Amino acid sequence: MNIKQLETFVTVANQLSFTKASEEMFITQSSVSKIIKSLEEELSVQLFHRTPQIQLTDAGKELYRHSLDVLSMLNNIPIEIGNLSKLKKGMVRIGIPPIIGSSFFPAVIGSFKAKYPDIDIRLTEVGSKVIIDELEKGNLDVGIVCSYPSDRDGYHIYPLVKSQLMVGVHVDNPLAERDILSFGDLRDEGFVLFKEDFSLYDSIIEGCTQSGFSPNIICNSSQKDFILEMVASRMGITCLPHITCAHVNDHSIRFVPLENPKIYLNLLITWKRNRYLSYASREWIRFTSDALDIRLEI
């Protein structure tokens, strides 16, 4: 088994297509097929179900998991050897949900960059489900998420913030006069929500379902500002964690605590267990834990 085989295997697994893998690697499709075939013969297992469409076998899924770890370590060797004693260079790839990105992380990241100006911070703003998927694939180093990964044993997970869910309504909406709201009170309202790849979406749908109705969803968006503009334009209501509401300065929107059931957004910091983590990534985690006054084991 060699690195070329693993790189080819991972590319096919990511694309689920021999043709697309060959295009990405700039080699012929027949070469890709031969490499995968030789790897299967060497391991004496089938790595892909090839009909009706390409899918990883159980053995393929296991090899994929280990291959990501091996390739991640190899890709980081040049940087780590050159910067072992001093954190002069490096890169940290961080996933942050847009729902909390503007709350307190800009200040943390700004302070980190002031201390380590040559470390490249790559921020990806997507929903928690996508962040966990990208961590699994090795495309992100650290994730700030609002839900636990399904494979909890495969991740380091530390709580950061627990924030109650609030209902955002236009001040002219009769609901704005209430001190507390329940999901039942929202039955006749139109909802403006984050997209389905946000874990908050699942929590809201579940809360409505438990209250005996399916929400009337007017639109979904991945942008918090757009959602707030929709509410400010009287197009519907939304549900956001208190940590986010506290930074909204639009006086046409009022946020009312949601009870019965009371739902909390649990903000977590997570990264893959048993996968190589660069010195720059480890230092960012340490720096962030000190800034937020939490105790992490790295």
Q: Given this model, what pLDDT does residue 32 score?
A: 93
**Residues of the chain above pLDDT 70, percent:** 93
The answer to whether residues 261 and 236 touch, using CB atoms and an 8 Å cutoff, is no
> What does the CA dihedral 219, 224, 228, 233 come to, rounded to 10 degrees?
-50
Q: Given this model, what pLDDT does residue 196 score?
A: 87
Start-end of CATH 3.40.190.10 domains in the chain:
89-161+266-291, 162-263
- Rounded to the nearest integer, the mean pLDDT of the chain is 87
For residue 240, which amino acid is it? L
Nearby residues of 115 by Cβ (< 8 Å), 6 or more positions away: 287
Q: Given this model, what pLDDT does residue 103 score?
A: 61
Q: Given this model, what pLDDT does residue 167 score?
A: 96
The answer to whether residues 131 and 140 touch, using CB atoms and an 8 Å cutoff, is yes
Tokens of 213: 């109705």
Helix (H) or strand (E) holding 10: helix 3-15
Q: Which fold has domain 89-161+266-291?
A: D-Maltodextrin-Binding Protein; domain 2 (3.40.190)
Q: Given this model, what pLDDT does residue 80 score?
A: 63
Q: Given this model, what pLDDT does residue 213 score?
A: 95
At residue 71 the predicted structure's pLDDT band, cuts being 50, 70 and 90, is confident
Q: Is the pLDDT of residue 73 over 90?
A: no
Q: Given this model, what pLDDT does residue 150 score?
A: 82
Q: Is the pLDDT of residue 65 over 80?
A: yes
Distances (CA, A) of 214 to 137, 230, 242: 34, 20, 24
Tell me the average pLDDT across 42-50. 92
Q: 105-114, 126-135, 189-198: which range is least confident on average?
A: 105-114
Token pair 């709201």 is found at 181
Report the predicted TM-score, pTM, of the whole model to 2 decimal places: 0.63
Nearby residues of 94 by Cβ (< 8 Å), 6 or more positions away: 121, 122, 123, 124, 140, 141, 142, 143, 144, 284
Residue 227 sits at φ, ψ, to 5 deg, of: -60, -45
User: What would the pLDDT profile of 201-217 be if each residue is shown by its tens digit?
Assistant: 888 999 999 999 999 99
105-115 helix and 279-291 helix, angle to the nearest 10 degrees: 130
At residue 72 the predicted structure's pLDDT band, cuts being 50, 70 and 90, is confident
In words, the CATH class of domain 3-79 is mainly alpha
Q: Given this model, what pLDDT does residue 101 score?
A: 58
Q: Given this model, what pLDDT does residue 97 score?
A: 86
Whole-angstrom Cα distance, residue 130 to residue 126? 6
Of residues 261 and 16, the one with the higher pLDDT is 16
Q: 160-169, 220-229, 289-298: which range is least confident on average?
A: 289-298
At residue 297 the predicted structure's pLDDT band, cuts being 50, 70 and 90, is low
Q: Given this model, what pLDDT does residue 237 score?
A: 97
**Residues of the chain above pLDDT 90, percent:** 49
Q: Given this model, what pLDDT does residue 109 score?
A: 86
User: What would the pLDDT profile of 212-260 be if each residue is shown by its tens digit?
Assistant: 999 999 999 988 889 999 999 999 999 998 888 877 888 999 999 998 7
Q: Is the pLDDT of residue 137 over 70?
A: yes
Q: Which CATH number fits domain 162-263: 3.40.228.10, 3.40.190.10, 3.30.2320.20, 3.40.50.410?
A: 3.40.190.10
Q: 33-37, 85-89, 173-177: which range is least confident on average?
A: 85-89
Token pair 């370590």 is found at 73
Q: 31-45, 56-70, 98-112, 153-167: which range is least confident on average?
A: 98-112
Start-end of CATH 1.10.10.10 domains in the chain:
3-79
